[in-house]
Amino acid sequence: MRSLPSPAAYTEVMLLGACFYNPVRIVWGPGITDSISNIITDSNLGVRGILVLTGRKSLEKSGKLGVLLNQFKKTEIFLYNDIPSNPEISELYNIKAETDKLNYDSIIAIGGGSVLDMGKCLAAFKGMHIDKYNELELSIINKDYQNYDIDIPVVAIPTTAGTGSEVTSWATIWDKKKCKKYSVEDERLYPGLAIIDPMLTMSLPLGLTASTALDALSHALEAYWSKRSNEIVRIYAQKSIELIIKNLNNLLDDLNNLDLRTKIAQGSLYAGLAFSNTKTTACHCISYPLTAKYNIPHGIAVSMTLAQFLNINREFIMDKRKLLCALGIENIKEAEGVINNIFIKSQIPFKLSDYGVKKEDIGNIIENSFIPDRMDNNPVKITKELLKRVLEDIY
């Protein structure tokens, strides 16, 4: 009879068995979108009619969108330029109804996380005939789209540096009245192509530059300590944290610096690759009711509790020394100062009371924070009592 391996042997097997999968073709570099048509042709996605999604009017006003789209001489372009931020199921329903009649066979989503996520949602439901809002709502809850063909390629072109959506296989959709956040997720929703041009982030104002970079920092930290983390994930996450910590403060002082924009875009991409294989943990779970009910921007809502969870999870973090080194600190207690400095420098309030949250609301926030698959992914089991302490700490 063979004896069971010792715990040390289990660890070795886990490390040897580390698995990493990400099928997104990534094209990267400042100014790369000047050749967008050639890049898409070279990617063999076989596009004939493209639905182009954008949300940022500034992209259109600056003339950049026109320059991008003019490159498609022989392709039919359908432009939908009004994607809202943090889109709700009702908005997806209306946009699907409006765009379903168009003869498109691929999607280019150019914008922040909400635009990229809308591209994935439309691709997920393209094959389904839906005439009522309730049908769409149920399909999202039950993940019915997973039983249908999903064959519309999505080209993701981020104009912020933080979302990571260009390299993940899921999208977020909201029902704010019910204080609910849903994931539309399927391996077929990985974008066929991600085109990352740091030039597109040059016009981001101070607050958005900081909050989106903090979102990326959260993706990297949560991937690092996630139950699903492994050595490959941690290599991407560590590099991401290092790039963001070393360069973000300088960028906040010098928003027109392309070199610093490029480093933060790179940090965001690496964070995206890291958490594409782990999903998120407690910080993202808590953020959803904060965004749904109090409109706290995503990047701020996720990073308000980062230092607290770094401390809570400290005993369960693998390769902790490398993480501290990437954060530029000697011990975990210093992390709070590092993160708070970013908030202060970018003039972003970071206490719940700054956003109109009342002390008596904390119970409700806790009730809406327990998202299975994300909260369970935190290395330390999170109880309601622990969450209460965290929320009181950031009140």
Residues in contact with Fe ion by CB under 5 A are 215
Closer Cβ to Fe ion, 112 or 153, answer by number? 112
Closer Cβ to Fe ion, 215 or 242, answer by number? 215
Closer Cβ to Fe ion, 139 or 212, answer by number? 212
CB of 302 to Fe ion, least distance (A): 5
Closer Cβ to Fe ion, 80 or 225, answer by number? 225
Closer Cβ to Fe ion, 266 or 281, answer by number? 281
Closer Cβ to Fe ion, 306 or 317, answer by number? 306
Long-range contacts formed by 145-151: CB under 8 A, 24+ apart: 145/184, 145/186, 146/186, 150/123, 150/124, 150/126, 150/186, 150/188, 150/189, 151/127, 151/188
CB of 167 to Fe ion, least distance (A): 13
CB of 378 to Fe ion, least distance (A): 15
Number of residue whose CB is nearest Fe ion:
215
CB of 280 to Fe ion, least distance (A): 7
CB of 203 to Fe ion, least distance (A): 22
Q: Which two tokens stand for residue 395?
A: 């009140």
CB of 215 to Fe ion, least distance (A): 4
Neighbouring C-beta atoms of residue 383, cutoff 10 Å: 10
Distance CA 225, CA 313 (A): 7
CB of 165 to Fe ion, least distance (A): 9
> At 230, which amino acid appears?
N
Closer Cβ to Fe ion, 186 or 215, answer by number? 215
CB of 284 to Fe ion, least distance (A): 6
DSSP bridge partners of 3: none
Closer Cβ to Fe ion, 56 or 298, answer by number? 298
